[in-house]
């Protein structure tokens, strides 16, 4: 995802502008892929054969990741990785749209995470993200 953004003639900024932004894109990409997906979501949506202890641990992990992201977005206000739209934001928006449709309703109450709620619905209206869903 980051590679394709870097080599794109039209969307190089989606990989981050400058070394620090690129590093933040990689950092947040790793967080969402490893922690959110690997330790939080995957056991809950059947990607792994999980028993009750694993599911409880995954649920607790997921809530802590939502807390972490919500607190981060309280400070950053706009996007997860930088002040500009990046491929991480697009990827996570698509990912959230999918998981919110797969997880049981009682798993995550997005309205309890005001900053994530604001960020997610802002992203859903962003022109680049809207093109993604077409």
Determine how many CB atoms are found less than 10 A away from the CB of residue 90.
21
22-132: what fold? Glutathione S-transferase Yfyf (Class Pi); Chain A, domain 2 (1.20.1050)
The per-residue pLDDT for 104 is 64
Whether the predicted pLDDT of 47 surpasses 60: no
Q: Which residues contact 39 (CB under 8 A, 6 or more apart)?
A: 58, 61, 65
Task: Reply yes or no on whether the pLDDT at 106 is more than 80.
Answer: no
pLDDT of residue 108: 72
- Taking the C-alpha atoms of residue 15 and residue 19, their distance in angstroms, rounded to an integer, is 10
Q: What span, in angstroms and rounded, lies between the C-alpha atoms of 21 and 13? A: 9
CB atoms within 10 A of CB 113: 19
Q: Which structure tokens are listed for 15?
A: 């990989």
Q: Is the pLDDT of residue 8 over 60?
A: yes
pLDDT of residue 70: 92
Q: For the residues 69-83, what does the mean pLDDT come to?
A: 83
**Is this prediction's pTM over 0.85?**
no
Query: What pLDDT, on a 0 to 100 scale, did the predictor assign at position 92?
Result: 86
Q: For 11-41, how does the pLDDT look when each residue is reduced to its tens digit (9 = 90+)? A: 788 888 889 988 989 999 999 888 888 777 7
Number of helices and strands in the chain (H, E) = 6, 0
């Amino acid at each position: 995802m980051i590679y394709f953004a870097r080599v794109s003639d039209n969307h190089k900024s989606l990989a981050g502008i400058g070394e620090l932004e690129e590093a933040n894109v990689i950092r947040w990409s790793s967080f969402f892929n490893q922690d959110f997906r690997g330790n939080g979501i995957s056991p809950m949506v059947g990607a792994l054969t999980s028993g009750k202890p694993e599911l409880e641990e995954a649920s607790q992990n997921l809530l802590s990741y939502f807390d972490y992201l919500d607190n981060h977005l309280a400070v950053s206000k706009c996007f997860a990785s930088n002040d500009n739209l990046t491929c991480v934001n697009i990827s996570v928006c698509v990912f959230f749209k999918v998981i919110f449709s797969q997880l049981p309703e009682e798993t995550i109450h997005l309205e309890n995470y005001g900053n994530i709620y604001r960020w997610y619905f802002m992203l859903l209206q962003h022109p680049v993200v809207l093109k993604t869903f077409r």
